[in-house]
Chain A
Amino acid sequence: MCRLFALTSRDPVSPMRAIDALNVMKEGHDGSGVGLFLSGLGGPWEELKEYPILSGIFTDAGLARMSEYMTKNGFQSKYSATFKPDVEPPVGTPKRGTYASIAFKIPDEWKGMTQAQVDSNLVQMRLDLRAMGEAEGDIMVFSFWPDTIMIKEVGDPMAIAGYLKLDREELYARHILAQGRQNTNYAINLYACHPFFIEGISTMTNGENTAFVPIREYLMSRGVTGYQGYQSDSEVFTHIAHYATKRLGLDISSYKHVITPMNDDEMRDHPDRAFLSDLKRACRKLIIDGPNCVIGCLPDGSMFMAQDRKKLRPGVVGGNPELGIYGFSSEICGLNAAIPDRDRTKDFQPMHLDTAIVGPDCREVLQCSQKDPLRQQL
């Protein structure tokens, strides 16, 4: 079972805090892998907020092919944080080459494009690179987006953290999603490792998504660039979040109305019943049956947690508004390890109707129930 831990903080913190939390929860997973999503980057990246960052793993040949591809498309590298381990990797981890995060300057020709066009082009470039790498086995890219770094590797999270020196200052970030364990239902594949990412939205999930195949087929038929891959049944959660917020223009508090709509009884007295029942009908294909706990981060830095309808997974949110730090954890012990000085009575465990949201200001946990009126003006 995957263990999930996310941190959101006003000031950049080391991803090691999240990895330590995973380590505490180790009993529940087999330590077979780790995935990290970092945004709201600190350190040298503060100045480079506008520049899309390509993160991935490259062999030497891959690096050359990648930079050739980027140059051909008019991209200029501005800054890079690369890491090439000089020690032997831990047991079970392959030797792969350079772990790189490179910020690029967008070509001038792109200036006239709409934001949507730019966004979709960036996704397309990531997919192109991924396809190039899959053909030769020399390039792996996890994200290509401003203010975002992703790292994934097979192996025990603690061992990997030491091997990749994840406590480097250039990896300090305000929003961190960390997941422990490789994919076990399917073959081991780094692209199947959470968190998943598309256009600034990242989510990770534990449990098994029993509705995976119909949802995958549905998403793939939407004609959206980037709705592909699906090495893991959890990747659809990221894309549903993207679809709901970017395509349908819904607020993240409505995410749960899409994946786990209320039943007729619960909806009966809802002030937005007309809209919600239409939404349920139209998005019926996206209903998940779980059991899952979804933790995600949005482009503005808000973080959220939602559960499947039966709430078969635990999950807790807590933190300290004075310090401006909140944690989202799949186990309470993880939260205790990462943020020990917090008011534990204020911890919130979202139940089957709730979504917990912490805004980028990290001041409070917003508790949204599906029974509440919609926050959004329709």
Chain B
Amino acid sequence: MLAERPITPATLSRKDLPWQIKWDINTCTKCGRCTSVCPVNAIELGVFRKRDVKPPMGLSAKPTTEFSTFYGIRQRTDPAYACIGCAMCNMVCPNNAIEPSRQYDSTTLQFHNNRGGQPRTRGGRRNSSESLLDQIKFIRISMLTDPALDAGRHEFDVRTLLGRVLSPEAEIKCFRENGWKPPVREIYPLVIGGMSFGALSPNMWEGLQMGVAYLNEEMNMPVRISTGEGGCPPRLLRSRFLKYVILQIASGYFGWDEIIHAIPEMKEDPCAIEIKYGQGAKPGDGGLLMWYKVNKLIAAIRGVPSGVSLPSPPTHQTKYSIEEAVAKMIQSMSMAWGFRVPVYPKISASSTSLAVLNNLVRNPYAAGLAIDGEDGGTGAAYNVSMNHMGHPIASNLRDCYKALCVAGAQNEIPLIAGGGIGKHGNLAANAAALIMLGASMVQVGKYVMQAGAGCLGSEKDRCNVCNIGVCPKGITSQDPRVYRRLDPEKVAERVVDFYLSFDTELRKVIAPLGRSTSLPVGMSDALGISDKDAADRLDIKYVI
């Protein structure tokens, strides 16, 4: 660094940065690829000066001083350009001469993430590596009185119902009297949760849609994908693939015009309509699509000018209370499709989730409730929201399921759980645990990005620049120079891969528990945990 470098309150040393660049002068070829690929310009080519004092042998000759310059990589310490640990530099380096490394004791940057009085915003999810779902074990293995089932050979029915299911009495009455039946879809219990067209790059979106179509049409797996707020490309709305899609509407109503206008030309009904009231990663906050990502295409689909930030309000602007909102929105969305499409709200898990559920129990048109826990991901949110707000999914879901049991409406209003499933890669085990705690199906977003497109985000605050449109993998960028890195065909392939393996793993969990012909929703006797308080709270067995 320059000797005259000013030292101000905001000056940091390299040591203060959580991610530090290790660069090896001996293997570096000075190709410059790393500096050109770095999404946040954390590294730059640097000119270094070196002074060498050469003391000759003997006493007669005087020592000489030599000055030399050499070129290398310099890590910037300005907080605005701090390295995010994405390791793209390493990915492009021909010699592995450079890589970021995490310094856990370097925490000072946290105090400088508010340049210009702007609190930090980022993508990703809660930076916490704990996961209750990972601690849950499946303890009820059929061994003695009954042989366990064979996951590879037995017939399995891994399907679930999305939509209001009538009670047996009501169903029979309805059949006899030929009455109106709420629409119900039989789908695969792992749903791709809402990631909007706008948050995701066109290539990512296309890849996901292709993967879902392939799973449905070639693999006989009725997988569904939610669009997230922000509309849906007009061609998809008018295609037969719409039936695999859950259209989301949120408080900003972005893209909704496009959808309404397409209704008369729709060849198929969408799978369902999801009304987003909240999201686990930023409860009580709306969407934050920032100006960097609002290019012409996004602007056109959302019906807004390009280059402006698009924050959705935290609540539905037109609604006065949750009772009114749930009733009216569900009613009007059902009406738009002639009561042929299930409509359900999505809320962030919170201690008031039960209030929303209570409203749904008495609403004959309510098709389900999606609950998103604190470990959910997002493309953009305030750091404080992500790290500190929200409710864990397991206990929230359990409360809701038990409330339904008391009301006798379990299975009648399907609960869709999300937020941190597969956080550490244990997708099938986490999903199975939630299903046994009472979820009819689960939804994942971040896992899809990580597995389907190689998203670099982690719970160690790695990468997380989804909000500013520079996603090094091209997942959450609207800049064609970046997103062309992502091949939609390859994304589709990965989506199919992880779905098929999820399916096998799920069977490997439920077969030994003796289940095969119906999804073990609420089979809480199968679960155990070595944390007494968690066991009591979730009403599952305490095992150590």
Interface residue ranges, A against B (CB under 8 Å):
1, 184-185, 207-208, 210-214, 217-218, 220-223, 243, 247-249, 260, 263, 274-275, 278-279, 281-285, 287, 289-291, 309-310, 312, 378
B39: min CB distance to chain A, Å: 48
CB-CB under 8 A for A378 and B176, given A208-B145, A213-B524, A214-B522: yes
Is A210 a contact partner of B518 (Cβ separation < 8 A)?
A: no
Is A289 a contact partner of B514 (Cβ separation < 8 A)?
A: yes
- Alpha-carbon distance A57/B534, docked complex (angstroms): 42
Is A207 a contact partner of B146 (Cβ separation < 8 A)?
A: yes
CB-CB under 8 A for A208 and B514, given A278-B175, A279-B171: yes
Is A285 a contact partner of B410 (Cβ separation < 8 A)?
A: yes
Instruction: Name the A residues within 8 Å of B411 (CB-CB).
Output: 218, 284-285
Instruction: Name the B residues within 8 Å of A310 (CB-CB).
Output: 149, 154-155, 516-517
- Alpha-carbon distance A290/B145, docked complex (angstroms): 11
Q: A210-B520, A282-B168, A287-B518 are in contact. List 13 more A-B contacts (CB 8 A).
A: A1-B145, A208-B142, A213-B522, A214-B522, A217-B410, A218-B405, A218-B410, A223-B408, A263-B155, A274-B175, A281-B184, A285-B521, A310-B154
Is B410 a contact partner of A221 (Cβ separation < 8 A)?
A: yes
- List 5 A-B pairs, Cβ < 8 Å: A184-B145, A218-B411, A221-B406, A221-B407, A221-B410
- Alpha-carbon distance A252/B502, docked complex (angstroms): 39
Answer yes or no: B288 CB below 8 A from chain A CBs. Answer: no
CB-CB under 8 A for A222 and B408, given A289-B518, A312-B147: yes
Answer yes or no: B513 CB below 8 A from chain A CBs. Answer: yes
Is A211 a contact partner of B168 (Cβ separation < 8 A)?
A: no
Is A217 a contact partner of B405 (Cβ separation < 8 A)?
A: yes
CB neighbors of A among B391-422 (8 A): 405-411
A11: min CB distance to chain B, Å: 36
Answer yes or no: B167 CB below 8 A from chain A CBs. Answer: yes
- Alpha-carbon distance A283/B166, docked complex (angstroms): 9
Instruction: Name the A residues within 8 Å of B517 (CB-CB).
Output: 260, 263, 287, 289, 309-310
- Alpha-carbon distance A214/B155, docked complex (angstroms): 21
Instruction: Name the B residues within 8 Å of A275 (CB-CB).
Output: 175
Q: Which of chain B's residues has its CB closest to A287's CB?
A: B518
Is B161 a contact partner of A249 (Cβ separation < 8 A)?
A: no
- Alpha-carbon distance A282/B406, docked complex (angstroms): 18
CB-CB under 8 A for A214 and B520, given A208-B145, A222-B408, A378-B175: yes
Q: Which of chain A's residues has its CB closest to B515's CB?
A: A289
Is A248 a contact partner of B172 (Cβ separation < 8 A)?
A: yes
Q: Which of chain A's residues has its CB closest to B146's CB?
A: A208
Answer yes or no: B157 CB below 8 A from chain A CBs. Answer: yes
Is B518 a contact partner of A211 (Cβ separation < 8 A)?
A: yes
- Alpha-carbon distance A284/B162, docked complex (angstroms): 13
Q: Which of A221, A222, A223, A289 has the largest number of chain B CB atoms within 10 A?
A: A289
- Alpha-carbon distance A263/B517, docked complex (angstroms): 9
A191: min CB distance to chain B, Å: 19
From A212, A223, A278, A309, give the contact of B181 (CB < 8 A): A278
From B406, B516, B521, give the contact of A289 (CB < 8 A): B516
Instruction: Name the A residues within 8 Å of B405 (CB-CB).
Output: 217-218, 220-221
* Ranked 5 nearest A-B pairs via Cβ: A210-B514, A221-B408, A282-B171, A214-B522, A287-B518
| Interface bits B153-174 vs A (CB < 8 Å: 1, else 0) | 0110100010001111111101
Answer yes or no: B525 CB below 8 A from chain A CBs. Answer: yes
CB neighbors of A among B523-542 (8 A): 523-525
Q: Which of chain B's residues has its CB closest to A2's CB?
A: B145
B67: min CB distance to chain A, Å: 79
Is B515 a contact partner of A211 (Cβ separation < 8 A)?
A: yes
Is B146 a contact partner of A312 (Cβ separation < 8 A)?
A: yes
CB neighbors of A among B10-35 (8 A): none
Q: Which of B157, B166, B408, B517 has the largest number of chain A CB atoms within 10 A?
A: B517
- Alpha-carbon distance A278/B171, docked complex (angstroms): 7
- Alpha-carbon distance A281/B406, docked complex (angstroms): 20
| Interface bits B232-260 vs A (CB < 8 Å: 1, else 0) | 00000000000000000000000000000
A278: min CB distance to chain B, Å: 5
Instruction: Name the A residues within 8 Å of B168 (CB-CB).
Output: 243, 247-248, 279, 282-283
A5: min CB distance to chain B, Å: 19
Q: Which of chain B's residues has its CB closest to A185's CB?
A: B145
- Alpha-carbon distance A333/B522, docked complex (angstroms): 39
- Alpha-carbon distance A210/B171, docked complex (angstroms): 26
From B167, B171, B184, B520, give the contact of A211 (CB < 8 A): B520
Is B161 a contact partner of A281 (Cβ separation < 8 A)?
A: yes
Is B515 a contact partner of A210 (Cβ separation < 8 A)?
A: yes
From B165, B408, B513, give the contact of A281 (CB < 8 A): B165
Q: Which of A211, A290, A312 has the largest number of chain B CB atoms within 10 A?
A: A211
- Alpha-carbon distance A263/B518, docked complex (angstroms): 10
Q: Which of chain A's residues has its CB closest to B159's CB?
A: A264
Q: Which of B169, B410, B518, B520 has the largest number of chain A CB atoms within 10 A?
A: B518
- Alpha-carbon distance A275/B142, docked complex (angstroms): 34
Is B155 a contact partner of A212 (Cβ separation < 8 A)?
A: no
- Alpha-carbon distance A184/B176, docked complex (angstroms): 43
Instruction: Name the A residues within 8 Å of B154 (CB-CB).
Output: 310
Q: Which of chain A's residues has its CB closest to B411's CB?
A: A285
B458: min CB distance to chain A, Å: 36
A73: min CB distance to chain B, Å: 30
A71: min CB distance to chain B, Å: 36
Is A214 a contact partner of B406 (Cβ separation < 8 A)?
A: no
A116: min CB distance to chain B, Å: 14
CB-CB under 8 A for A213 and B523, given A221-B405, A260-B517: yes
| Interface bits B47-81 vs A (CB < 8 Å: 1, else 0) | 00000000000000000000000000000000000
Instruction: Name the A residues within 8 Å of B515 (CB-CB).
Output: 210-211, 289
Is A210 a contact partner of B522 (Cβ separation < 8 A)?
A: no
Instruction: Name the A residues within 8 Å of B142 (CB-CB).
Output: 208, 210
Q: Which of chain A's residues has its CB closest to B405's CB?
A: A217
- Alpha-carbon distance A284/B167, docked complex (angstroms): 10
Q: Which of chain B's residues has its CB closest to A249's CB?
A: B172
From A210, A279, A284, A289, give the contact of B161 (CB < 8 A): A284
- Alpha-carbon distance A259/B370, docked complex (angstroms): 28
- Alpha-carbon distance A290/B142, docked complex (angstroms): 11
Q: Which of chain A's residues has its CB closest to B160's CB?
A: A284
Q: Which of chain A's residues has its CB closest to B170's CB?
A: A282
B333: min CB distance to chain A, Å: 22
Is A213 a contact partner of B406 (Cβ separation < 8 A)?
A: no
Instruction: Name the B residues within 8 Å of A260 (CB-CB).
Output: 517
- Alpha-carbon distance A214/B181, docked complex (angstroms): 25
Instruction: Name the A residues within 8 Å of B172 (CB-CB).
Output: 248-249, 278-279, 282
- Alpha-carbon distance A71/B237, docked complex (angstroms): 73
Instruction: Name the B residues within 8 Å of A221 (CB-CB).
Output: 405-410
- Alpha-carbon distance A162/B165, docked complex (angstroms): 52
- Alpha-carbon distance A185/B407, docked complex (angstroms): 29
Q: Which of chain B's residues has its CB closest to A244's CB?
A: B168
- Alpha-carbon distance A278/B149, docked complex (angstroms): 28
- Alpha-carbon distance A232/B175, docked complex (angstroms): 34
- Alpha-carbon distance A212/B520, docked complex (angstroms): 10
Q: Which of chain A's residues has its CB closest to B167's CB?
A: A282
Instruction: Name the B residues within 8 Å of A282 (CB-CB).
Output: 165-168, 170-172
Instruction: Name the B residues within 8 Å of A212 (CB-CB).
Output: 525
- Alpha-carbon distance A217/B155, docked complex (angstroms): 26
B540: min CB distance to chain A, Å: 10
- Alpha-carbon distance A37/B172, docked complex (angstroms): 32
- Alpha-carbon distance A211/B516, docked complex (angstroms): 10
Q: Which of chain A's residues has its CB closest to B525's CB?
A: A213
Instruction: Name the A residues within 8 Å of B146 (CB-CB).
Output: 207-208, 210, 290-291, 312
Instruction: Name the B residues within 8 Å of A312 (CB-CB).
Output: 146-147
Q: Which of chain A's residues has its CB closest to B407's CB?
A: A221
Instruction: Name the A residues within 8 Å of B171 (CB-CB).
Output: 278-279, 281-282
Instruction: Name the A residues within 8 Å of B165 (CB-CB).
Output: 281-282, 284
Instruction: Name the B residues within 8 Å of A378 (CB-CB).
Output: 175-176
- Alpha-carbon distance A309/B157, docked complex (angstroms): 12
